Structure 1
Amino acid sequence: MGLLKKLAGQSAIYGISSILGKTINFLLVPLYTGYLAKEDLGSFTMLYALIAFLNVVFTFGMETAYFRFATGKGLPPQKVYQNAQSLVFFVAVALGSLLYLFATPLSQLFDFQGKPHLFQWAAMILAIDAVMAIPFAKLRLEGKSLAFALLKLLNIVLNVSFNIIFIVVAYHITEGDILRQLQPCVAAWFRPDWGVDYILLSNVLANFLILPLLWKLVAGWKFELNKKILLPMWHYALPLLFMGLAGVTNEVFSRGLFEHALPAGFYPHLSPREAGGVFGANFKLAILMSLIIQAFKYAAEPFFFQQAENKNNPQLFARVMHWFIIFCSSLMVAVAVNLHLIGKLFFQAEGYSIALSMVPILLMGYLLLGVYYNLSIWFKITDQTKYSFYITFTGAVVTIVVILTLVPVWGFIGGALSTLACYLTMVIMCYYTGQKYYPIPYQTKKGLLYLAVSFLFSYTGFFLDSGDLLLNFFLRNGIFLLFLMLIFLMEKKELYSLFQSISNRKHDN
């Protein structure tokens, strides 16, 4: 129980920063839908899908390799850090420079004529993100979750602040609505035709400001490339690179591919790029599940590696999975039954709610991604990372096939199903392969029951409509309370044992 408490505590700190950060970031949804055209949102969706894909190339699996070699290979952790950071730094500068130089042909290839600066800024974002990756990993490994969380949160606050300044404040100043004395100065540089441009520029500025703070906090880096240290790390990381490429195809590439798979005229009054913007905006409504998965991953990866030598770790990993499914399935139902209310709060323009019905599918997809993160520990601690490539590559193929076959038929729902089908495939493959090589006593039947019932309750609540807004709120959230009652009835023995353990500990103290 003490180890679970430690993991929960670390996840809570990462989770609080993620929740606060993502909540602040989430406030950009009404800003974007209110101030930017749907075409700009489509451009934003596609460009950030490309950035996410290339980010994997820039870091090439070195974060996980750093965790593994700094904890379980008998090497000095500082030496591992210096070599990993040096290699990532060298690759990031080289690839970033290459991307910067080829910005013009890339802008033409992706139909951003006359805007090579977008790809130059993307190169800067990618290079700085990569250079910060290993220092952030070092903070996680050393248990400095609070420092990690505060820096991540500061980065998000800066990013959001620049977005508000460029997209909202500068616009209203040039229109003469506010601070008229600044109008000549702001009008000299403000570009009203820039939308996605200011989003990328904000990201660049936030990254530049956070980088020196991180390097000051994580001191002691000296450039060093030691072949004896880096060669085995490279062999360990290479399959993770391909896993990451396949994984990011599963996670974000669907948003970039969506507009190309959607037939022209599928949605009246929406071009494929505008439909891509609607698709991307609704994707953000699954953010609550995404941030929980992210917070769990931040805490769980170093935790699992540190517990790798514990003889009771299979039982520990099984309990982590069980309570992870309970928590996340409850969150999914809570969000899904209130989606109509959430959509009204965050979509500040007409035409976005037409894709709302796809969000429960995305919530389940992200939940399954979290299940996969739990399952994947077996090949990481046994150094069988080659299986990660097989599994995620299969998931990537499923993603692309489902998008190309179902988006032309079902539109938004087809795009969401690509996420669900991908992660479901990966979970099944990882579970059966893992039980063969590293058996873990998961409560599989109960976990499947929770997943199935939560998905059913999510759509029941989503489609329930009495015709009265207030009555809808109570009926839909009644479904959520019913799900919590089901959990209590099925877990009452475990919950009683947990509360009794806590009570005994307090009494002993």
Structure 2
Amino acid sequence: MATLRKLAGDTVLYGISSILGRFVNWMLVPLYTMVFQEPNYPKAEYGIQTQIMAYVAVVMVLLTYGMETSFFRFASDPKNDKNRVYSTTQTSLAITSLFFVALVVVFLPNLASTLSVEERSYIILLLAFTVAIDAYSSIPFAKLRLDNRPIRFVTIKLINIGVNVVSNLFFYLFCPYWLSKYPDSWLQNIYHHDIGVGYVFISYFLAALVTLILLFPTQKGVRFTIQKPLFKKMLKYALPVMLVGIASMLNLNFDKMAMERLLPDPDALGKLGEYGAAFKLGVLMTIFTQAYRYAFEPFFFSNKTQKNAKEIYADALKFFTVVGLVGFLGVTFYIDIIGVIIGKSYHDAFIVVPYILLANLFLGMYYSLSLWYKLTDKTHYGAYMAFGGVAITIVLNIILVPRVGYIGAAYAFLASAFAMFLVSFLWGQKYYPIPYDVKKIFMYFGLAIVLFFTSIWLTIPNEWLNYGFRTLLLVIFVGVVWWQEPQLRKVLKRE
């Protein structure tokens, strides 16, 4: 119980930054959907942002190439000098990040054309520096996690969020308002309406730069040298993890990367903007999954020698699933309330939200199951599963999106996530068997799906009574879990 409470506590601490970051980014969606629509800007502007950020997610995995997980693996091994592991990792990322920026400069015109910003190529250059800084900063953040310094981790993450939010509000609200009142103000020298979505990426850059400065103290004692034997071992361990990461990001983002070309619609970028806004409504599941991953990876490495480690891992998956299902029901039951803050021209895409939520839940369960191939150093199996998931994602997107529109992308995402989860479970039980409570997990899933469809089939005409009925359904689910899980009660009551 004490070990599970520590995992829960770390999940909450790391979740503060993750939750706030995701939540604030989600809260920026109303701003973007208000700004990026007629008559101010075309809706395609938000489509451009959605598409570019999908590519950025994949590039970030390439630029960190699994070294974050490799750092955890080798720095937590008492046989290795933690400082040498840290220095080797940081030096490697510094070299590759600078090389990436140089490549972007060389191919800047082609990249700007591919991403529909031919007249604003500075966006791509700015993004190159931002992504390079973020990649380099990933290891100092990992060191803070390994050193069990969640407060400092959270503080820097929150400052990063604050800078990004303030910059967005400054450029999209304050500047237009002030210049409408005082057109001759000095702000006319730094604000230009034609930059449009470019201010989103300027804000990202400013936040990344401030974060890098705040992380300088963690560089104390770092010698920019590479220990070649150590680096070879780390790279061998990391590359399969990188492949898994690339596949994971493609699973999450291929639809947004390809939708402009797959949709038979002259306003494909506008439709992509709608889909991107609806996808953000799955943020609660993504928030929880991200917070759990931050805490779980160092947790399972540090507890692998415990006698009851497998029982702890089994309970962790069950409790993660339960909380994830509560999130699924909560968002789907109250989506009409949550969606009020999104621009009305984007509401047609809300139909994809239940599929996105379930897909993110299965991905979270897959991440929890993934400990088997990391603990047994069989990371190549992770690559097999992840690329199998990518194959499903790509094939189904190509088949479905041209025929049924962006809901086909949601179907593809869910099918891919479920397949990865299922295969990981089956292989994990073969190579590192863990006594997961499959019956209860299956029961909770079944109950949640029944309650979800009940909320759709039994719709009460009165809006408030309908919300009351859905709240009752949510209480039923929580009540069943509370009755069935005495261990969970002990964790929450700190017994």
Question: Which TM-score applies when normalising by structure 1?
Answer: 0.93
- Asked if the contact 2:48–2:116 (Cα under 8 Å) also holds between the matched residues in 1, the reply is no
Q: Post-superposition shift, 1:254?
A: 1.8
Once residues 430 and 447 of structure 2 are traced to their aligned partners in structure 1, the CA distance between those partners, rounded to angstroms, is 28
CA distance in 1, matches of 2:432, 2:492: 31
Q: Go from structure 1 to structure 2 and tell me whether the alpha carbon gap of 1:459 and 1:146 turns closer, same or farther (over 3 Å shift).
A: farther
Instruction: Look up the match of 1:246.
Output: 247
Aligned Cα RMSD in Å? 1.7
The equivalences for 1:44-55 within 5 A come to: 44-55=49-60
Counterpart of 1:189 in structure 2 is: 190
Q: Quickly say closer, same or farther: Cα 1:125–1:18, change in 2 above 3 A.
A: same
Matched, 1:106 2:80: no
Match of 1:309 in 2: 305
Summarize the alignment of residues 417-456 of structure 1 with structure 2, pairs less than 5 Å apart: 417-456=411-450
State whether structure 2 residue 405 is matched by structure 1 residue 411.
yes
> Contact conserved, 2:48 with 2:115, CA < 8 A, in 1?
no
Unaligned 5+ runs, structure 1: 266-270, 504-509
Q: 1:117 pairs with 109, 116, 122, which one?
A: 122
Number of paired residues?
A: 490
Asked whether 1:215 is paired with 2:216, we answer yes
How far apart are the structure 2 equivalents of 1:79 and 1:322? 38
Could you tell me which of 163, 167, 180 is aligned with 1:162? Answer: 167
Which of 271, 274, 286 pairs up with 1:275? 271
Give 1:494's aligned residue: 487
1:340-390, CA deviations, whole angstroms, 9 ceiling, x for partnerless residues?
Answer: 11001x21x322111112111111111111101110001111111111110
Decide whether the 8 Å contact of 1:364 with 1:455 is kept in 2: no
Query: What is the aligned partner in structure 2 of residue 506 from structure 1?
Result: none
Q: Would you say 1:340 and 2:336 are equivalent positions? A: yes
Q: Deviations over 1:45-102 (max 9, x none)?
A: 0000011111111000000000001113610111111101110111111112211332
Q: Structure 2 matches for 1:328-367, cutoff 5 A?
A: 328-344=324-340, 346-347=341-342, 349-367=343-361
Amino acid at match of 1:291: I
Post-superposition Cα deviations, 1:208-239, rounded to whole Å, max 9, x if no partner, equal 11211112245221101111110010100111
Contact 1:163–1:199 (Cα < 8 Å) also in 2? yes
Instruction: State the secondary structure of the residue aligned to 1:223.
Output: coil
Per-residue deviation, residues 250-278 of structure 1 (Å, max 9, x unmatched): 0122222223222226xxxxx11100000
| 2:482–2:489 Cα contact (<8 Å) kept | no
Distance 2:198 2:490 in 1: 55
1:64 and 2:69 correspond:
yes
SS in 2 for 1:169: helix
Offset at residue 404 of structure 1 (A): 1.2
> Equivalents in 1 of 2:112, 2:480: separation in Å?
53
Deviation readout 1:177-218 (Å, 9 max, x if unpaired): xxx2x7431123322122220000100011111211112245
SS of 2:119's equivalent? coil
Task: Report the secondary structure of 1:310's partner residue.
Answer: coil
Q: Which amino acid aligns with 2:311?
A: Q
| 1:368 corresponds to | 362
Aligned pair partner of 1:380 in 354, 369, 374? 374
Cα contact 1:250–1:422 (8 A) shared by 2: yes
Cα shift at 1:245: 0.9
Cα pair 1:35 1:168 within 8 Å, conserved: no
Q: For 1:81 and 1:328, how far apart are their aligned partners in 2?
A: 34
Of all paired residues, the percent bearing the same amino acid is: 34
Query: Any stretches of 5+ residues in structure 2 without a counterpart?
Result: 38-42
In the TM superposition, 1:218-233 aligns within 5 A as: 218-233=219-234
Cα distance between partner residues in 1 of 2:58 and 2:461 = 44
Q: Distance in 2 between matches of 1:108 and 1:315?
A: 53
The answer to whether structure 1 residue 298 and structure 2 residue 294 are counterparts is yes
